[in-house]
Amino acid sequence: MSASANDLPLPAPAAPTPAATAFPILATLSVCHLLNDLIQSLLPALYPLLKDAFALDFGQIGLITLTFQFTASLLQPVIGLYTDRHPKPYSLAIGMCSTLLGLLLLSRATSFPVLLVAAALIGTGSSVFHPESSRIARMASGGRHGLAQSLFQVGGNVGSAIGPLLAAWIVMPRGQGSVAWFALAALAAIVLLSRIGGWYAARLATAPARRGAVAAGEARLPSRRVAGVLLVLGLLIFSKYFYLASLTSYYTFYLMHRFGIDAQGAQLRLFVFLGAVAVGTIAGGPIGDRIGRRYVIWGSILGVLPFTLLLPHADLLWTTLLTIPIGLILASAFAAILVYAQDLVPGKPGTIAGLFFGFAFGMGGLGAAVLGQLADHAGIDTVYALCAWLPAIGLLAWFLPSLAPVREAATARH
């Protein structure tokens, strides 16, 4: 007896086809990240000029960095949490307007308190940019999350590397007022971010369907285990950004003090280090996609330790050369850490991006302030002798679990 049509087994629903990686969006985000971080990197690049013009000590320089980083670190998780629940497609362009105002104020500041206000405005713009643009990068990734985060972040690293170079060529010879020319970069970013906002708004209509389609394969661990893993990741971020603060804020002073070179020569060597950071950043994400993010995190934090231990004992040539592997290896960590954390806490990419960018900025600011006070009281050489041991905290990466078995178990349950 033949089966009726109603008795025939229904075909299994087709697996959702993953969206293609939106490389034009990722490229535009990377360019905007370049412009955003180029503007931000002007602040530490101007420290030698501001130190002389305003008679600042190292403690006050650290306070400027702390103001910028603290503003960003406080607001980023709040903005990420809010926009996870209430997406705001054009918030990126609005945040860049705050950066523009801070930049113009920095070019006209006449007192130390005004410098702090300018730093706070630039930090506010950054607090909007990083969690929202990281969310859009994940949305545009087509499932290649590490690659997307690396492409997005490398723009910021290139901008951070170019900023000191432009400061050495443009601002140092012409003075503080020439900072206003960089308003053109902020205006260009506002235009590009407005276009990205339009793409983001169009994608929001299908976002609930896509979230439902991938929910079965998301990794979920018990809440207490998640909290412990996030603590370990936070300590790794602390290690990375405290050490980076010693280089981004005080490397030029260290070179000028120890080797007697001028400010422009020191800025060029800072550019070498930041260029290595940019190259390392673009490698970390794709390698993590291929071999696993835990291995990248482990190698990028702990693997830099031999080079940091050698740095305080090197001459000028070897100091310059050692900062290249330090930048390459250390920079590969953040994209892997961020994507690992977003996989760990699925469905909250903006919250996690805001939390980790904010914590990274906060650690950088706190590190700048603490290390500035240490440099005032114990000398700049002591700063580098102590910071050399920070990457040893990378041993904690041993406690990071693999998320792959959790994803497989979640998929089997569904």
Q: What kind and span of H or E run contains 291? A: helix 263-291
d(CA 342, CA 76): 15
d(CA 197, CA 83): 13
Q: What is the pLDDT of residues 142-164, one digit of tens each?
A: 878 878 888 888 888 788 778 87
Q: Look at residues 244, 225, 367, 384 and name the one whose alpha carbon lies nearest to residue 300.
A: 244
d(CA 411, CA 413): 5
Chain centroid, CA 78 distance in Å: 17
φ and ψ of 258, to 5 deg: -80, -35
Q: Looking at residue 234, what is its pLDDT?
A: 86
Residue identified by tokens 């443009």 is 170
- Contact call for residues 185 and 102 (beta carbons, < 8 A): no
Q: Looking at residue 185, what is its pLDDT?
A: 92
**Single pTM value for the model:** 0.69
Q: What angle do CA 69, 362, 289 make, to 5 degrees?
A: 110
| Cβ-based neighbour number of residue 131 at 10 Å | 31
- Contact call for residues 300 and 332 (beta carbons, < 8 A): yes
For the chain, 414 residues long, give each residue's pLDDT as a single digit of tens.
Answer: 444 444 434 343 333 445 678 889 999 999 999 999 888 878 877 888 888 888 888 888 888 878 887 787 778 888 888 888 888 888 899 999 999 999 899 888 889 999 999 999 998 888 888 888 888 888 888 878 878 888 888 888 788 778 877 887 888 788 888 888 888 999 999 999 999 988 988 887 665 544 444 444 455 677 788 888 888 888 888 888 888 888 877 888 889 988 988 888 888 888 888 778 878 877 777 777 777 777 788 777 778 889 999 999 999 999 999 999 998 888 877 778 888 888 888 878 878 888 887 777 677 777 877 888 888 888 888 888 888 898 888 888 888 887 764 443 443 344
- Contact call for residues 134 and 150 (beta carbons, < 8 A): no
C-alpha R_g of the chain? 22
Q: Is the dihedral of CA 166, 169, 172, 178 positive or negative?
A: negative
Amino acid at position 96, single letter: M
Q: Is the dihedral of CA 281, 282, 285, 288 positive or negative?
A: negative
Q: Looking at residue 339, what is its pLDDT?
A: 84
- Contact call for residues 139 and 89 (beta carbons, < 8 A): no
Amino acid at position 404, single letter: A
In the chain the domains, ranked by start, together with CATH numbers, are: 21-203+222-399 (1.20.1250.20)
What 8-state DSSP symbol labels residue 170?
A: I
